[in-house]
Structure 1
Amino acid sequence: MSKPNRVPGYMQSKGNRNRGPIGDREIRYKCSMTNTILDVLRARPGWQEVAGDGDWDFFWCDREWLHANYDSMFLQEHQKILHFRNHYELTRKNLMVKNLKRLRKQTEREQGKKEAESFDFFPTTYELPSEYHIFVEEFKRLPGIIWIMKPAAKSQGRGIFLFRKLKDITDWKKGEYQPLTDPNREVPETYVVQRYIENPYLIGGRKFDIRVYVLVVSYNPLKVWLYRGGFGRFSNSRFSLDSIEDTYVHLTNVAVQKTAPDYDPDKGCKWATQQLRQYLAAKHGTEVVRKVFQGIDNIIIKSLHSVQKIIINDKHCFEMYGYDILLDANLKPWLIEINASPSLTASGKEDYDLKYGVLNDVLNVLDLENRLTGKEKRVGGFDLIWDDGPVNADDGSMECSINSSATTSNSFLGCYCDRKKQLRDIFTAAQALKKTATS
């Protein structure tokens, strides 16, 4: 057996020395999680769970494990592992904005201001405490507006609050004025402060954002899959700017909303993206909705391009991002944040079914079983939207009656998805093609 290619900076890890490439044998997996992904892996035919330091082919690891072990690992040709080494360049709030700002400036230099305007999808943002003085200048220039503070590396709404007065954030600037030699010097936690979007699009008087699932299997070349399903996350209380301290009004995170006194777990606070798209189309027309979802595509591709040259690309790694998108009253999509570990814990049966399908199709796209041809543009609920360039839909693939751009774009976010039938069809077609090629 030929010696696998060594990845620069890797040392060989225990348990992966003698295992050959995957053929007809079982696929051995490890998993750091105990939620929906573990159910998916255990139900997958021909997959076998590995305990301890046993030999594995696929590892759904947590970020902490990857950071602690990546640089001392040697992965064989066939092995796959969740997360790129420095995924945080896109998923930490401060670094995400830093990278977007850099690419926007580069685009303006090289292509002009008009093209740079296509990056106008994230709110005015500053990092605190390092950019505190710049932020203060902007704050004074725009008196009376609302700002939102977010910890750079936390999730599920932890530590977020809104404010109108500078005195509300004095805790985050005090460390700047203490001598570096002071042993008792407190270093403020890194936050981002953003201009709050005061005019969100409301349904039933309530604010919502959209969770979008994006699978990146390579950064060089960039290859991106977009999942058709997703959900809108609604606040439990009607929107108002009169009570900016009420998190149940302003934060749509399920982790926050489910603690509301009047939260109904049977009803939940989610709409399927398909339901949301149909609602918007009925109210505003299909052409308006097409542009809205085209704007979401633009956000996804531009954000990934902003880190394409920074992410440590590794053919063994993949990433499943959870994008959070907010629509304002003018139906303009805004990027709120990108999650490297979107929640896989279900809040109900529909949520479980959605996440089960997403995760199953991640495995189908990665195709460790070698059942596909590698030329597919759709696998289950995932559509290939970028493959070292934009991907166009095949002629006649009008699978979404409200996606009038289907002849040019392979994006079907919020469109109908009979994923089980589609999977049967592509696996059958791939098998027939392979038989023809070998005959």
Structure 2
Amino acid sequence: MDNRNGERDKMTRHYWMGGNRSYEQDRFFEQHLDKSLWQKADGPEQWDACWYTGMPDPEYFSQVGPGRKINHIPGNAALTVKSRLYRSLMELRERVQRQDKGSGHLTDRLAFVPRIFSMPEDYHDFQEAALENPGKRWILKPKNAARGKGIRLVDDPADVPMDSSWMVQEYLENPHTMHGRKYVLRLYVLVSSVSPFRVYLYHQGFAKLASAPYDEDNANNPYSYLTNPDVNALNLDAEIPVEFVDFDRYRVWLREQGHDDEALFARIEDMVALTCLAALEPMRERSRVVGADTRGCYELMGIDCLIDESLKPWILECNLSPSLEVCAGPDSGGDIEEGIKGALVADMVEMLGLNRPVGNEADGSMVERLVRETQAETASSGGFRNLIPGKDPSAYLPFMALPRLSDWVVAQALSDRPLKQPRFERWVAEETFSEDLVYLYDTRLGHLSSLNETASLIWLMATEGAGPDDIAAALVDAALKSTPTAPDAWTIRNDVWNTLADWINNRFLVQSEGETAERAAPESSRASSSEASATISMVLSCGRFRARFFTDSAPLVSRIENLLEPMAVADESGMDSLPRLEVVRDTPGFTLILDGQVIRSRLPLSAVAPALASCLATHAAGHDDIAIDAGLLAGSDQDSPMFMVSHTEPSLRDALTLALAAQWRVEYDRGALLQAADEYRVAGLGLPLQDTAREGLFVPARAGLTGNLGRVPAVLVPTENPLQNKSGVQAMAVNETLRHLISSCCGEDGRPLDTDGFTRLAGWLEGRDRYLVDMNNLEAAAAALSGRCFEKAPQKESGSL
């Protein structure tokens, strides 16, 4: 797009119309441009105003600005694509519900959209919903079609297509009817500015009537349940197939029926404002990505809403480039339809200032300019009613992820009372500190990000209860003391608001309804509505390591609670300051976290127990200790010897430990700590053992061995290779045993053994018997080992046994 002003007539401005053009769609826009100021462009290369039917390519937005406007906003698909509309409103509802903390005073206002299932990702959810609600009807819609094309009621939920071009919407039963016919209200909504956000609803619109009487039992008649004029125009049996009733006549009729039309339209206005707010951040972000100056973008949409028999409005869809064609005949509202649509476009052109010279934006401060622009626009809005910022500019600020500075200063200037700055609380972020910097951990995704010095200060002040302008004032004061020139206070202020907004969009923070920010549990550690509430909070002891363990996932609690019991500390007094070890629900799977540091992420449920055991084992050793991830066997007698079993062979793991425990009827454990203060005895760690007979399942260690010291007369190494020795056992050299055992050993903080540790382990092995055990001949091996080891065990108290 070439916008070189030197090659253009400086007095005459150019307009261009493109996209899915039609005379009916273009004519009102062209008619209402002042011909003394505007000339039609020869092509898309030169224009000051573009009227585009449909969505233009991103390059159209590269040159827009205050003097060069286009009738679309990047990111409008968050509203105008049917499946995206539902998702946008659900995301807004989720965030507002988090702010509500169960009070519902904000969330309840968002209950105006029927449930939507987007194919193919929601196919199984839809089938479950259909099964649970056998009497409910559903309507099938193409995601990107218009004018009623492809819409039909679902006969059999099993036949719903899974193709990505389709969606299924909950069918709203019991609609309000006019003269016995179902109707939908067509509303005309204008978003004139993204920053600051300004939304208008046109005072006129239409009730679009179906062409056949509404009949709950006549589901096969599209003229009974569909109100689209393109569909009803095909009803040859109808006296008036397409009928539009303007809002003036509709409101009179409502009053005649004894209804409060003012109350209904107040609810409609609130619904429209909240719907547009659901797309605010997607529009801002997409505009940033394509490089659009949003001062040159606006969006006129057609919103359809259904009124149910209780006179509650429901939003059905938002239409991009709403039809400006006159659909009804002269006797069924066509003349009124043409007058309303023409006046709608005329008022829009006037309000946007397309027939006025581009003003000098440099006059006054930034705040003065923003307020002046907003006031001038609303003063010339004609039949458009301003919803945002509206009569009460503070009313919709809580529904914004965070007002940007432009929203805030306009709301402050137009409000009849002082506004309280937003306050914040953590949502899915936890912070850790290193020197003067803050590191943020995303509890959903397991990502750790670092903040620079300024961002760290913003984060700390925000989470301690400071508002954005308070934070900005502190930064300006600091800059005044450290720089010789006066800082740009507006830029600093704007950066603070934008930084906080980015964190809220990432769900690190959320606006708080309270006066001060409250500590909030991470989203991923809170039970979802579909999951039963269950928690574990216990102190675990594994060797030298102590930690408070926490999780609140019911399936996980069921799976691991008994595995942790051998390591659980009964008396937790004086242990409040222990490290926090937690498993949080994530997307996808689970994340294992130790004191804010991610140990493992994206874990399936079956992998949590081994990951947790590995974490505990690698932290079990203290200074000069040696932790060995191996099996232990011992009799119930306190003086009974222990036997260590290597399990480094992945296919065998704890098979030999459990098999010998069954043969000998003795206690078993996993994990051993060779303590620095005791050269010969080891302590059991109490880690769970993998039951190789049942893949993926674990069994708890026997509590009698956990933490208790015992002598080890022999180390056993299983093998799947048959031994020639009929006894099932074969002596091993120290070096060969080391080769099997060393990968399971670690020192303090999970570090590999240093030279001293390696030498100590080798010396310790020299004093043990060492046997290779044939897994194919376990009965003979068990008998041979029992005779060799249990009889030798009491012979020595220390040194080699």
The reply to whether TM is greater than 0.5 is yes
Alignment match, 2:773? none
The change in CA–CA distance for 1:30 and 1:275 in structure 2 (over 3 A counts) is same
Alignment of 1:246-265 (within 5 A): 246-264=221-239
CA distance in structure 1 between the aligned counterparts of 2:26 and 2:124, rounded to whole angstroms: 44
Q: How far apart, in 1, do the equivalents of 2:227 and 2:123 lie? A: 27
- How far 1:290 moved relative to its partner? 2.1
Q: Is structure 2 residue 351 aligned with structure 1 residue 376?
A: no
Residue 264 of structure 1 deviates from its aligned partner by 4.6
- Cα distance per residue 1:103-154 (max 9 Å; x no partner): 1011111123412121110112211221111111111111111111111111
The corresponding residue for 1:210 is 185
Which secondary structure state, in structure 2, belongs to the residue aligned with residue 261 of structure 1?
Answer: coil
Paired residue type of 1:290? E
Contact 1:206 1:235 in 2 (8 A): yes
- Greater shift, 189-198 or 324-333, is seen at 189-198
Matched, 1:30 2:16: yes
Residue matched to 1:316 = 296
Change (3 A) 1:61 1:215: same
Say yes or no: does 1:198 pair with 2:189: no
Distance change (3 Å), C-alpha of 1:196 and 1:43: closer
- The CA deviation string for residues 35-82 of structure 1, in whole angstroms up to 9 with x for no partner, is 253244145332221122452211101334x126336x3235400001
Cα gap change, 1:358 to 1:166, in 2 (>3 Å): same
Return the offset for 1:294: 1.4
**Map of 1:360-399 to 2, 5 A cutoff?**
360-370=346-356, 374=376, 376-377=378-379, 379-387=381-389, 390=392
Displacement after TM superposition at 1:27 (Å) = 3.2
- Kept in 1, the 8 Å contact 2:77–2:84? The answer is yes
Partner of 2:307: 327
- Report if aligned partners of 2:201, 2:386 keep a CA contact under 8 Å in 1: yes
Question: 1:18 corresponds to which letter in structure 2?
Answer: G
Equivalent residue in structure 1 for 2:134, among 137, 143, 154: 143
**Which amino acid in structure 2 is aligned with residue 128 of structure 1?**
M
Indicate which of 264, 281, 301 corresponds to 2:255.
281
Q: Of the candidates 336, 339, 354, which is equivalent to residue 350 of structure 1? A: 336
Which protein has the bigger strand share? 2
1:268 is displaced (CA, Å) by 3.7
For the pair 1:92 / 2:55, whether they are aligned, the reply is: no
Preserved CA contact (<8 Å) 2:33 2:355:
no
The 1:356/1:389 distance shift into structure 2, 3 A limit, reads same
Match of residue 413 from structure 1: none
Q: 1:359 aligns with which of 345, 355, 363?
A: 345
Residue 155, structure 1, aligned to residue 149, structure 2: no
- Flag the 1:68–1:229 CA change in 2: closer, same or farther, 3 A: same
Residue 325 of structure 1: SS of its match in structure 2? strand
- 1:16 CA drift (Å): 4.1
**Distance of 2:254 and 2:31 partners within structure 1:** 38
**1:422 aligns to what?**
none
Q: When the two structures are superposed, what TM-score results if normalisation uses the length of structure 1?
A: 0.76
- CA drift of 1:368 comes to 2.3
State how 1:62-77 maps to structure 2 within 5 Å: 62-64=53-55, 66-67=56-57, 69-70=59-60, 73-75=62-64, 77=66
Secondary structure of the corresponding residue to residue 193 of structure 2: strand
Residues in 1 aligned to 2:267 and 2:65: alpha-carbon distance in whole angstroms: 39
Q: Contact 2:187–2:206 (CA<8 Å) still a contact in 1?
A: yes
Is 1:59 aligned to residue 56 of structure 2?
A: no
Change over 3 Å in CA distance of 1:390–1:247 after alignment to 2: farther
Instruction: Answer whether contact 1:21 1:77 (CA < 8 A) is retained.
Output: no
* CA RMSD across the alignment: 2.5
Return the match for 1:234 from 182, 204, 209.
209
Relative to structure 1, the CA distance from residue 242 to residue 363 in structure 2 (aligned partners, 3 Å threshold; closer, same or farther) is same
SS at match of 1:44: coil
Specify the alignment match of 2:243 in structure 1: 269
- Worse-matched range after superposition: 119-128 or 49-58: 49-58
Aligned counterparts of 2:316 and 2:209: Cα–Cα separation in 1: 15
The residue aligned with 1:426 is: none
Unmatched segments (≥5 aa) in structure 2: 288-293, 328-333, 358-372, 395-414, 416-801
Q: Distance in 1 between matches of 2:29 and 2:281?
A: 33
Distance in 1, Cα, partners of 2:226 & 2:135: 21
Q: Using the alignment, how far apart are the partners of 2:151 and 2:108 within structure 1?
A: 28
> Secondary structure of the residue that 2:323 maps to in structure 1?
coil
Q: Taking structure 1 as reference, are residues 368 and 236 closer, same or farther at Cα in structure 2, changes over 3 Å only?
A: same
Looking at structure 2, the residues matched to 101 and 376 of structure 1 have their Cα atoms a distance apart, in angstroms, of: 30
TM-aligned CA deviation for residue 241 of structure 1: 1.9
Q: Letter of the 1:155 partner, please give it.
A: A
Question: 2:266 maps to which residue?
Answer: 294
Q: Give the match for residue 306 of structure 1.
A: 278
User: Residue 243 of structure 1 corresponds to which residue in structure 2?
Assistant: 218
Moved over 4 A (4+): 19-22
CA shift at 1:26, angstroms?
3.4
Q: Percent identity?
A: 26
Distance 2:117 2:392 in 1: 32
Counterpart Cα distance in 1 of 2:387 and 2:248 = 18
After superposition, residues 105-120 of structure 1 pair within 5 angstroms as: 105-113=94-102, 114=104, 115-120=106-111
Please tell me whether the aligned partners of residues 377 and 383 of structure 1 are also in contact (alpha carbons under 8 angstroms): no
Q: Does structure 1 retain, via aligned residues, the 8 Å contact 2:28–2:346?
A: no
Bigger Cα Rg: 2
* Aligned-partner Cα distance in 2 for 1:224–1:340: 15
Inter-partner Cα distance in structure 2 for 1:95 and 1:44: 34
Shift of the alpha carbon at 1:163? 2.1
Residues 127, 158 of structure 2: 8 Å contact kept? no
Cα offsets for 1:384-407 (capped at 9, x unmatched): 221288469xxxxxxxxxxxxxxx
**Partner letter of residue 67 of structure 1?**
D
Map of 2:122 onto structure 1: 131
Contact 1:325/1:335 (8 A) holds in 2: yes
Match of 2:675 in 1: none
Paired amino acid for 2:282: I
Q: In structure 1, list runs of 5 or more residues that go unmatched.
A: 1-12, 174-187, 393-407, 409-439
Contact 1:145/1:164, CA 8 A, preserved across alignment:
no
Aligned length: 358
Partner of 2:203, secondary structure, is strand
Describe the shift of the 1:219–1:43 C-alpha distance in structure 2 as closer, same or farther (beyond 3 A): closer
- 8 Å contact from structure 2 (residues 207, 244) kept in 1: yes
Letter paired with 1:206: R
- Cα gap change, 1:112/1:292 in structure 2, threshold over 3 Å: closer, same or farther? farther
Give the whole-Å Cα distance in 2 for the aligned partners of 1:362 and 1:263. Answer: 35
Structure 1 range deviating more: 339-348 or 382-391: 382-391
Q: 3-state DSSP class of the match of 2:189?
A: strand
C-alpha contact 2:32 2:346 (8 A) present in aligned 1 = no
Deviation at 1:21, TM superposition (A): 11
Task: State the secondary structure of the residue aligned to 1:368.
Answer: coil
Determine helix, strand or coil for the equivalent of 1:310.
helix
In the aligned structure 2, how far is the partner of 1:241 from the partner of 1:382? 37
